[in-house]
Amino acid sequence: MRLETKAIHAGLDVQNNSKAIVPPIHTSTVFEHSEEGFRDGDLNYTRYSNPNRLQLEALLAELEGGEACAAFSAGVAAAKAIFQSLKPGDHILIPADVYAGNRSLVEKVMQPWGLEADFIDMTSIQNIEDAIKETTRLIWIETPSNPMMNITDIEAVCELAKEKNILTCVDNTWPTPVNQLPLERGADLVLHSTTKYFGGHSDILGGAVIAKSSDGIFERIREIQQLGGAVPSPRDCWLICRSTRTLPYRMRGHNEHASHLAKFLQNHPKVENVFYPGLATHAGHGIAQKQMSGFGGMISFLVKGGADEALKIVAGSKLIKRATSLGGVESTWEHRRSSEGEGSRTPENLIRISVGLEHPDDLMEDLERALSYGEK
Ligand SMILES: *Cc1c(COP(=O)(O)O)cnc(C)c1O
């Protein structure tokens, strides 16, 4: 089956005894035990499992090509479960320009817990190899990275990690399985913030871990999900399933519109540089072409000038909303350094745009208006 078909049908039959085409939302927190008492694998209590969550997990596992999935209440809760599945004293390698929320999670929550971490440049395999220690248990990959759009060669890193018996996890939030399939390239785990493209409408918070294999590290992640309780509500699971049915077609639109806008920005006199892996001029374009089937809906670009100029440009849009986050049907953009706040390493003249599904000509007109602030 192809991805479009899987997105529509996967998970529908899980715990759906009524055979409803659209499964109902199961609000009950408890489920009746059989007459012989509770049996392993039966539904019991919603923190452990719920029909809607099982449907969502089956759907996400199928799309990423994994054996198992655990859904969480947020992307960072999913990331935290992965880190907690390691032991205090274990060491991880994580990109220097990792998603800022995951950097804070590691620095403010996991390092005090005992996790050791080095934030490194992951565009060079040699650099990764040099940073591996005796205690390194996990290499965290985010490609394209956020917001610099650096590209890491998933296959090459996973090969190196396997040789050294180190786990790999790819944050696949930006590309989605429509554009990139890390498990096929050798990764052990995939992380998602389903808040973004899976949800797709800026109205659900969620996260997920998908595992190549349902045993090993995943068993511990499942335990942390069920015992830790950072689980999504049945209604949110239902909503994410509903949105995911259209994910492949939404991603086609995001890919197509973003590549138009990236070219437009590249030719604009007020723009100093554009970071989009689909551009032939992008440093990681060759690797991106090998491992991505589409280049996604996210673009970062540097404007000529500093923070002032960038903020004025972002203030001048009428259609593109000023907001953080990404992956909605509506376009949003932000002066990224202001959003990341203290400790941000993002250039002060960088604007990050999440290209939505409006007509690309309307978006380009809006960009033109915003970029020509102060002119008549
Ligand atoms: C948003 C995001 C996360 C965190 O997800 P939440 O749902 O906000 O907790 C993780 N990784 C990436 C790449 C993201 O964009």
Are 291 and 304 part of one and the same domain? yes
Q: Are residues 153 and 209 in the same domain?
A: yes
Q: Is 47 among the catalytic positions?
A: yes
The CATH number given to whatever domain includes residue 35 is 3.40.640.10
Q: Would the pTM count as exceeding 0.95?
A: yes
The answer to whether residues 171 and 220 belong to one domain is yes
Does 361 qualify as catalytic in the annotation? Answer: no
DSSP result, 211-264: ESSSSTHHHHHHHHHHHH-----HHHHHHHHHHHTTHHHHHHHHHHHHHHHHHH
Closest C-alpha to ligand 1, atom 9: 75
DSSP for 240-253 reads HHHHHTTHHHHHHH
Q: H/E element holding 3?
A: helix 3-9
* Residues 211 and 288 grouped into a single domain: no
Q: State residue 344's pLDDT score.
A: 83
At 340 the pLDDT is: 85
Are residue 327 and residue 199 in the same domain, yes or no?
no
Q: Is 163 in the same domain as 272?
A: no
Count of alpha carbons within 13 angstroms of residue 219, beta-carbon side: 2
The CATH number assigned to the domain holding 293 equals: 3.90.1150.10
Centroid of ligand 1 to alpha carbon of 42 (angstroms): 32
Q: Are residues 120 and 264 in the same domain?
A: no
Ligand 1: residue of 152, 180, 195 to mutate (most ligand atoms within 8 A of CB) is 195
109 with 218, same domain?
Answer: yes
Same-domain pairing of 262 and 185: no
Do the bridges between strand 207-211 and strand 271-275 make them parallel or antiparallel, or are there none, so unpaired?
Answer: unpaired
Radius of gyration of the chain (CA): 21
**267 and 355 co-located in one domain:** yes
Condensed to tens digits (0 to 9), the pLDDT of residues 77-111 reads 999 999 999 999 999 999 999 999 999 999 999 99
User: Can you give the pLDDT at residue 376?
Assistant: 55
Of 193, 223, 244, the residue at which a domain comes to its end is 244
Atom 6 in ligand 1: residue holding the nearest Cα: 75
DSSP string computed for 294-341:
S--SEEEEEESS-HHHHHHHHHT-SSSEE-S---SSS-EEEEHHHHH-
Cα 292 to middle of ligand 1, angstroms: 20
Paired residues of 234 in beta bridges = none
Mark whether 188 is an active-site residue: no
Q: Are residues 34 and 136 in the same domain?
A: yes
* Confidence at residue 342, expressed as pLDDT on a 0 to 100 scale: 80
In angstroms, what is the span from residue 31 Cα to ligand 1's centroid? 32
Residues 267 and 163 in one domain: no
Q: Number of structural domains, the chain?
A: 2
Which residue pairs, CB below 8 angstroms and at least 24 apart, start in 144-147? 144/174, 144/175, 144/277, 144/284, 144/288, 144/296, 144/298, 145/95, 145/97, 145/98, 146/97, 146/98, 146/99, 146/100, 146/174, 146/298, 147/97, 147/275, 147/298, 147/300, 147/336, 147/346, 147/350, 147/352
| Structural domain for 52, as ranges | 3-244
Can you give the pLDDT at residue 374? Answer: 75
CB 173 within 8 A of CB 193: yes
Show which of 194, 210, 244 is a domain's final residue: 244
Where the chain has pLDDT below 70, the residues are 376
3-state secondary structure of 278: coil
- Active site residue: 97, 99, 103, 185, which one? 99
Ligand 1 mutation target, pool 148, 173, 243, 324, most atoms within 8 A of CB: 173
Residue nearest to atom 2 of ligand 1 (CA): 193
Domain boundary among 244, 270, 289: 244
Residue of 43, 63, 40, 66 lying closest to 53 (CA atoms): 43
Of the residues 53, 97, 103, 171, only one is catalytic, namely 171
Probe residue for ligand 1, chosen from 72, 73, 76 as the CB with the greatest number of ligand atoms within 8 Å: 76
Structure-token pair, residue 159: 């090969």
Establish whether 373 is a catalytic residue.
Answer: no
